[in-house]
A = this chain, B = another copy of it.
Amino acid sequence: MALIVQKFGGSSVADVSKIQNIAQKISKFYSDNNKIVVVVSAMGDSTDILLEMANEINSHPSSREMDMLLSTGEQVSIALLAMALDAINIPVISFTGSQVGIITDNIHCKARINKIVTDKITCALDENKVVIVAGFQGRTIENEITTLGRGGSDTTAVALATSLNADLCEIYTDVDGVYTTDPRIVKEAVKLNEITYDEMLELASLGAGVLHPRSVELAKLYNVPLSVRSSFSNEEGTKVVNTTLLEKEIVVTGVTRDLNVAKIGLFDVPDIPGIASKIFNFLANEHINVDMIVQSAMRNDLNDIAFTIPKDDLNKALEIINRIKDDIKISEVVYADDVAKVSIVGAGMITSPGVAAKMFKILADNNVNLKMISTSEIKVSCIVDADQADKSVQLLHESFNLANLK
């Protein structure tokens, strides 16, 4: 008997028949004498429909009311999934994030989980019920409804797995595991049987889209056994593990592409200590995640600073910068949202020099212009024109021989 947390994303609960399909899947695990906690996202495109109405009504909706609105999506899913399990005689109970005691900070739309009160869940598990928890949402100690931002349901699942000391956390999605790259871009992409937390973290951050980076970070921190599987098949997925034997041999494990990127350039920023910190603090205060930052060589005591942010945050970021622009004497602000981030990831890079150089050469030989470069111990990322992103991924996947990985 094991305690398993299973998370199903929006595409897995997109309609009535998919919800029934998932209920069947859960019932098999339940019948095998496991204790099951299920985390679900909002149905298919229901969140988009709500967002559309909100934006029609208010171009700058309050983030508190946005949380009030969006949290209804998962509440619909948990109720319907509970009804589907009940229909096949599986004892079940559903809880909203507020109800079950997922306590967050008070940053609406991007809240972080502070703690989870597990009493209600353990009590229901003791009664042999499947427990369904709404993903993506929680509440502050003042009982204000919050949401966790992008990929929040993954985070809910991992946080629950940690708090409940679960034996396994399974993330069900519409693909059957983690691939060397997006199979829609490179048809030779292969599924990985195992991947390290660190590699997954880089892949997740880079827009592989299978798992949210926050959830991987949390899983790594608390050593939660994580597995990525398909909602629509019974195949084994990809295990995310602490260390892997693969590390010895393989330098590059995956190639990713992220189109949700915008680039902002600030020209002629005075070279005064604290200026960069000031700019990025203003952005951080508005909860804009700055990703890559590049500062060019100084000319005449002036710096050029370029950085990337999620495309959604571009307008907000430009507003902030225009507000402080004169104050900190930036001569010009430029931006682009027709760019993409292409990255290679692999734990083996640490011990294999020249990987970045090989990447740059492959891209240069094929006339891909690199607009920004950023590296970590286990990844190299480049900003390229959006329309060259797929081509770059295909070239790198082939050149690093990823089709022959396992």
A contacts, CB < 8 Å to B: 16, 19-20, 50, 53-54, 56-59, 61-62, 64-66, 68-69, 71-72, 75-76, 78-80, 82-84, 86-87, 93-94, 96, 98-99, 143-145
Contacts and interface: CB of A to CB of B under 8 A. Distances in A.
B65 A69 contact: no
Contact of A83 (B16, B61, B99): B61
A76 B83 contact: no
A59 B87 CA distance: 8
Nearest to A74: B72
A120 to B, nearest CB: 9
A47 to B, nearest CB: 12
Contact of A86 (B53, B58, B87): B58
Given A58-B83, A83-B54, A99-B143, A72 B69 contact: no
A84 B58 contact: yes
Contacts of A65: 79, 82-83, 86, 94
Contacts of A80: 53-54, 57, 69
Nearest to A19: B57
A406 to B, nearest CB: 40
A78 B87 contact: no
A57 B72 contact: no
A169 to B, nearest CB: 24
A145 B54 contact: no
A54 B86 CA distance: 12
Contacts of A56: 16
Contacts of A78: 68
A87 B57 contact: yes
A141 to B, nearest CB: 13
Nearest to A16: B56
Contacts of A87: 57-59
Nearest to A95: B68
Given A62-B83, A68-B79, A69-B79, 12 more contacts: A19-B57, A54-B83, A57-B87, A62-B82, A62-B86, A65-B83, A65-B94, A68-B75, A69-B80, A69-B83, A71-B75, A72-B76
A84 B65 CA distance: 11
Contact of A57 (B20, B75, B98, B143): B20
20 contacts: A16-B56, A16-B57, A19-B57, A20-B57, A50-B76, A57-B83, A57-B84, A58-B83, A58-B84, A59-B87, A65-B86, A68-B75, A68-B79, A69-B80, A71-B75, A72-B76, A75-B75, A98-B98, A98-B99, A99-B144
A70 to B, nearest CB: 8
A20 B58 CA distance: 10
